[in-house]
Amino acid sequence: MLNFEFKNPTKILFGKGQIENLGKEIPKDAKVLVLYGGGSIKQNGIYDQVMKALNGFEVLEFGGIPANPEYAILMDALKVIKEEKITYMLAVGGGSVIDGVKFLSAAALYEGDSPWDILTKNIRTEVGLPFGTVLTLPATGSEMNSGSVITRKETQEKLAMGGPGLFPVFSILDPQVVQSIPERQLANGITDAFTHVLEQYMTYPVQALLQDRFAESIMQTLVEVAPRIMKNPADYEAAANFMWSCTMALNGLIQKGVPQDWAVHAMGHELTAMFGIDHARTLAVILPSHYEYNFAAKSEKLAQYGQRVWGITEGTTTGIAKEAIAKTVAFFHSLGIDTKLSDYTNAYEGTAQKIKTRFTERGWLGLGEHKTLSPADVEKIVEMSY
Ligand code: NZQ
Ligand code: ZN
C-alpha cells in the first residue's frame, strides 16, 4: 500500500426530508447567494423546499448555470457576489452547479488579475468563500470533494481546479430528488460514478486489499441498482444506494494508498470541450480504448475486476481481462450510452491529432498511473475510440 494523508471536512446530511435542516448549517447573520442551473429545481419542488428552509436569512439568487459550467456566466455571478458582499453560497444542483460554485468560492477571494489563471496556472485554493450544497443529481461526487471542472466556450477549453479550501462545508443528500431526473442524466450519473471508481482502481496491484474491496463494492452496488433506477427513479431504496455510491466513489476514500489513473477523464474533457458531449458519455467513449491500449499494464487488475465484479470464473488471466472490458462496454450500452465518438458526431476526423497537440502545448507529457502515456499514446487511444 502507498503512503497517504486523508482529510475530508464536508459534513453530509443524508436522507428523506434533510433539506428542511438546511438553515441549521448556515451562520444566522450570513448573506446567502443561492445558485442553481437551468430551472429544473423550480419544476420539481426543490427550489420551494430550499427557500422555505432559508426563511429568516437574507437571500439572493443566481440561476442559469449551464451543464459544463461556463466561465462567462460564472463571471456574472462573481459580480453579484462582490457587489452584494455575499458571505455564503448555496449550490442547488448537480455537478455543474456545484463546480461553478467552487470556482466562485475561489474567485471571490482571488487577488490576481484574472480568475481564469486559477485554472490555467493550476493555482490551489487554500481558503475559499464558504458554501454548502443541496445535491439534485447523483453523479460526480463534487458534493464531497474539493475539485471542480470549468468550461470556457470562447476558447473551447475545459480545465480542472481544486484545493483544500474548496470542500463544501456541508452537503444535503436527499435521495427523493432522484425521482425527477430524466433517463439520460440517470444513465450519465451511473456511468460517471462507475468510471470514477475505475480511474482509482484499474491500475496495478499494490496489495491494498481493503481499498480494492471498497472500489469493487461500489461498482457492484451500481451494477445492482442501475436497472432499478433506470426503470423507476422513484424507487427510494435504489435511489439512496445510487446516491451514496456516487458520493463515495469520489470523496477521496477509495483512492488512499493506491495508484490512480485519470487519463480517461483527461481525454474525455477534451471531447466535451470540442463537441459538447455529456461528460459521462465521453468517458464511455474513451475508457474501452484506453484499457485495450494499456492492456498489458492493466491486465492483472482487469482480471481481478472481471472475477469479482462481473463474476467471470472461466478462462486465463488474459481471457478474463478481455471479457471484463467487453462486460463494461455492455453495461454502458444497457444504460443507453453509446461508446464510440462517431455515435455522437460526424466531425470526428482530426480529433486525436488536436488533443495530442493540446496536451503537448500544456506540457501534459505523461498521463496515467505510471505517468508514461505520452501525447502520441493519447492520439492513438482517441483514434481507437472513433
Ligand atoms: O440545469 P438544470 O435545469 O438544473 O438541469 C440539470 C441539467 O440539465 C438536470 N438535473 C439535475 N438535477 C435534476 C435535473 N433534472 C431533473 N431533476 C433533477 N433532480 O441534469 C442536467 C445535468 O446536470 P449537471 O449538473 O451538468 O450534471 P452532472 O452532475 O453530471 O455534472 C457534470 C459536470 O460535472 C463535472 C463534469 O465535467 C461536468 O462539467 N465533473 C465534476 C467532478 C467533480 N467536481 O469532482 C468530477 C467529474 O468527473 C466531472 O468532471
Ligand atoms: Zn467524471
Judge if the beta carbon of residue 265 lies within 6 A of ligand 1.
Answer: yes
Q: Rounded to whole angstroms, how far apart are CA atoms 91 and 179? A: 19
Q: Partners of 33 in the beta sheet?
A: 60, 89
- What is the value of pTM for the model shown? 0.98
Multiple choice CATH, 182-384, 1.10.760.10, 3.40.50.2300, 3.30.1360.170, 1.20.1090.10: 1.20.1090.10
25-83 per-position pLDDT tens digit: 999 999 999 999 999 999 999 999 999 999 999 999 999 999 999 999 999 999 999 99
As a whole number of angstroms, the distance between CA 69 and CA 281 comes to 17
pLDDT in tens, 147-166: 999 999 999 999 999 999 99
Find the helix packing angle between 263-275 and 351-362, rounded to 10°: 120
Please give the single-letter amino acid code of residue 244: W
44 lines ligand 1 (CB under 6 A): yes
Domain residue spans of the chain: 11-176, 182-384
**CA of 312 relative to ligand 1 center, distance in Å:** 33
Alpha helices in the chain (DSSP H): 40-43, 46-53, 71-83, 95-109, 116-120, 183-199, 209-231, 236-249, 263-275, 279-293, 295-308, 317-334, 351-362, 375-384
Q: What is d(CA 149, CA 128) in angstroms, rounded to the nearest whole number?
A: 16
Mutate to test the pocket of ligand 1, among 35, 40, 133, 180 (most ligand atoms within 8 A of CB): 40
Model confidence pLDDT, tens digit, residues 266-307: 999 999 999 999 999 999 999 999 999 999 999 999 999 999
Instruction: Read off the DSSP letter of residue 207.
Output: S
Closest C-alpha residue for ligand 1 atom 50: 149
List pLDDT tens digits, range 198-227: 999 999 999 999 999 999 999 999 999 999
Distance CA 333, CA 339 (A): 8
Q: Encode burial over 284-305: b for 16+ CB neighbours within 10 A, e otherwise.
A: bbbbbbbbebbeebbbebbbbb
11-176 and 182-384 share one fold? no
Note the CATH number of domain 11-176. 3.40.50.1970
